[in-house]
């Protein structure tokens, strides 16, 4: 039960962070990706802030056997670089560059109630469902 409550509040904090950092705004994201245009380094600073606050959490987690609310740490253990990783990252990058939205900001931007955001999120969910048709290896 506690895990539901913490998930809700942590989601709120994540969404608030995306809002404060303006990553919820696709134009702001695209202006970071536009290196040859009027470049805006903001997204880079967001990444530095995010990494700076994530690394201590990972260091503390590494010293613990179990999460504070019980259960087990579910952390990916794969080390191999395969074609799916490279192909997936490339397709995601193209979609990100076209739209200015990655999954977190897109979902957070639903809060605006603006319908093109809903169209984007619906397309994103369609893409995720499409992936389920791809055979697992």
Partner 1 sequence: MGTGQVVVGDKRMEHFTPVSALLGGAMIGLAASALLLLNGRIAGISGILGGSLEGSKDDLLWRIFFLTGLVVGPWLVTAVRGRFPEIVMQAPLFILVVGGVLVGFGTRLGKGCTSGHGVCGVARASPRSIVATVVFFLAAAITVFITHHVLGA
When binding is defined by CB under 8 A, the residue of 41, 135, 136, 137 that contacts partner 1 is 41
Residues 52-91 vs partner 1: string with x where CB under 8 A?
xxxxxxx-xx--x-xxxx-xxxxxx-xxxx--xxxxxxxx
> Whole-number minimum distance, CB 63 to partner 1, in Å?
11
User: In which residue are the tokens 């380094």 written?
Assistant: 41
Q: Is 137 in the site for partner 1 (CB under 8 A)?
A: no
> Whole-number minimum distance, CB 47 to partner 1, in Å?
7
Residue ranges in 102-131 that form contacts with partner 1 under rule CB under 8 A: 102-104, 106-114, 116-117, 119-131
How far, CA to CA in Å, does 123 sit from each of 44, 110, 118, 134? 27, 13, 8, 17
Whether the Cβ atoms of residue 134 and residue 47 lie closer than 8 Å to each other: no
Give the DSSP H or E segment for 26. helix 26-33
Torsion angle of the four alpha carbons 97, 91, 121, 78, in this order, in degrees rounded to the nearest 10: -120
Q: Is 135 in the site for partner 1 (CB under 8 A)?
A: no
């Amino acid at each position: 039960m506690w895990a539901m409550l913490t998930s809700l509040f942590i989601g709120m904090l994540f969404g608030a962070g995306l809002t404060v950092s303006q990553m919820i705004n696709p134009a702001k994201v695209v202006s970071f990706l536009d290196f040859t245009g009027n470049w805006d380094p903001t997204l880079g600073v967001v990444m530095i802030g995010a990494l700076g606050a994530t690394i201590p959490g990972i260091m503390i987690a590494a010293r613990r056997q179990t999460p504070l609310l019980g259960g087990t740490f579910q952390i990916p253990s794969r080390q191999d670089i395969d074609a799916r990783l490279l192909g997936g990252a490339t397709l995601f990058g193209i979609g990100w560059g076209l739209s200015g939205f990655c999954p977190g900001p897109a979902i957070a931007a639903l809060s605006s109630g603006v319908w093109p955001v809903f169209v984007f999120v619906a397309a994103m969910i369609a893409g995720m469902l499409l992936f389920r048709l791809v055979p697992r290896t």
